[in-house]
């Protein structure tokens, strides 16, 4: 008999995300890029799964998120959606598929929704991509905003440092967050900004605010799943907590496998036909 209880853990939707914010229930979000990981993440009760363009770094080994293509994102999203029963699945529109061109933005978002079965798309930016967001929303496609450190603009920023430290940038971010909220974005990611500013945004807007490196006074948290599982021991920014050390666990298991194969102790008598 299945232990899955739909009443105890109903499907996460845009309405449920808003309801969670209103009730003060924090939203737990993580990335995923494939079926196996998504099944584990969803089964653990994570509320929102983002097929992030961090796939460029984590899955493809790129230095930035810029190279990943829409076709690649759709492949990652298809596998992820097949592994999910309950979480709300969001897919990043990658660099070059929505900026400065609302028609292209809508076409990209429609492809994601039709081909993957995901429930929303995420776009990086505020005022400068307003028309693209409006066009996607006009088709009934939920949009998640993303402000603060927006990695697709790394070449403009000149790195991955803390954003909105100065008053002018903080003011712009606040205005952008209000704009995204009023346009009807179903959630907004705030990445690597001062905790006090993130808390103010979360207080002032009705859309759920999901933070990464934005302190605890927001409506939820998101991390890259491989990072929080400690699979990449070379990456440990201040905001990241390792909830496991899978790099060590996996390396030990792989070394054990190699040594047992070489010693001909794997497979044993019970592991053969
Ligand atoms: O691509 C990604 O993984 C993201 C999260 C870090 C928010 O955008």
Q: Which two tokens stand for residue 125?
A: 């930016």
Question: Bridge partners of 121?
Answer: 91, 143
Task: Report the share of the chain in percent with pLDDT over 70.
Answer: 97
For the segment 137-162, what is each residue's pLDDT rounded down to a tens digit?
999 999 999 999 999 999 999 999 99
Task: Label each residue of 38-83 as H, E or C.
Answer: HHHHHHCCCCEEEECCCHHHHCCCCCCCCCCCHHHHHHHHHHHHHC
pTM score, two decimals? 0.96
Ligand 1 pocket at CB < 6 A:
31, 50, 52-54, 92, 189, 191, 212, 222, 224
For the segment 45-60, what is each residue's pLDDT rounded down to a tens digit?
999 999 999 999 999 9
Q: What is the pLDDT of residue 233?
A: 81
The stretch 31-57 carries a mean pLDDT of 98
Q: Give yes or no for residue 31 having a pLDDT over 50.
A: yes
If DSSP codes are grouped into helix, strand and coil, which group holds residue 175? helix
For the segment 79-132, what is each residue's pLDDT rounded down to a tens digit?
999 999 999 999 999 999 999 999 999 999 999 999 999 999 999 999 999 999
Task: List the single range of 3-12, 28-37, 55-64 with lowest mean pLDDT.
Answer: 3-12
CA of 84 to the centre of ligand 1 (A): 18
Task: Report the share of the chain in percent with pLDDT over 90.
Answer: 95
Distance CA 188, CA 32 (A): 18
- Tell me the best of 30, 46, 52 to mutate to test the pocket of ligand 1, counting ligand atoms within 8 Å of each CB and taking the most: 52
How many beta carbons lie within 10 A of that of residue 112, not counting itself? 24
The stretch 35-45 carries a mean pLDDT of 98
For the segment 163-191, what is each residue's pLDDT rounded down to a tens digit?
999 999 999 999 999 999 999 999 999 99
Residues listed for the chain: 273
Distance CA 118, CA 236 (A): 30
Q: Give yes or no for residue 8 having a pLDDT over 70.
A: no
DSSP string, 127-161: GGGHHHHHHHHHTT--EEEEEES-GGGHHHHTSS-
The residue behind tokens 């924090």 is: 26
Q: Report strand pairing: 27-31 vs 120-122.
A: unpaired
CA of 149 to the centre of ligand 1 (A): 10
Q: What is the pLDDT of residue 2?
A: 45
Element (H, E) at 27: strand 27-31
**Band of residue 9 on the pLDDT scale cut at 50, 70, 90:** confident
The stretch 33-40 carries a mean pLDDT of 98
DSSP string, 100-119: T-HHHHHHHHHHHHHHH--S
Q: Give yes or no for residue 234 having a pLDDT over 90.
A: no
Query: Catalytic: 25?
Result: no
Distance CA 103, CA 123 (A): 15
Distance CA 73, CA 78 (A): 9
Average pLDDT in the chain? 96
């Amino acid at each position: 008999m299945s232990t899955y209880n739909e009443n105890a853990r109903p499907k996460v939707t845009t309405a449920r995300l808003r309801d969670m914010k209103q009730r003060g229930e924090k939203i737990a979000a993580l990335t995923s890029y494939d079926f196996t990981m998504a099944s584990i993440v969803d089964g653990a009760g994570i509320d929102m799964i983002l097929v992030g363009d961090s796939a460029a770094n984590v899955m493809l080994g790129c230095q930035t998120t810029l190279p990943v293509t829409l076709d690649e994102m759709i492949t990652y999203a298809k596998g992820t959606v097949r592994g999910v029963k309950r979480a709300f699945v969001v897919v990043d529109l990658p660099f070059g598929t929505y900026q400065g061109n609302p028609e292209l933005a809508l076409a990209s978002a429609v492809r994601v929704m039709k081909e993957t079965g995901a429930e929303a798309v995420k776009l990086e930016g505020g005022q400068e991509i307003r028309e693209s967001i409006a066009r996607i929303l006009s088709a009934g496609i939920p949009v998640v905003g993303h402000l603060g450190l927006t990695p697709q603009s790394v070449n403009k920023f000149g790195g991955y440092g803390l954003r909105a430290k100065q008053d002018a940038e903080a003011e712009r971010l606040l205005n952008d967050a209000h704009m995204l909220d009023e346009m009807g974005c179903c959630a907004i990611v705030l990445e690597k900004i001062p905790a006090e500013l993130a808390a103010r945004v979360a207080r002032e807007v009705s859309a759920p605010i999901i933070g990464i490196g934005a302190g605890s006074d927001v409506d939820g948290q998101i991390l890259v799943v491989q990072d929080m599982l400690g699979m990449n021991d070379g990456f440990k920014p201040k905001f990241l907590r390792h909830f496991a050390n899978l790099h060590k666990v996996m390396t030990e298991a792989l070394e054990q496998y190699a040594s047992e194969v070489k010693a001909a102790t794997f497979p044993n008598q019970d592991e053969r036909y």
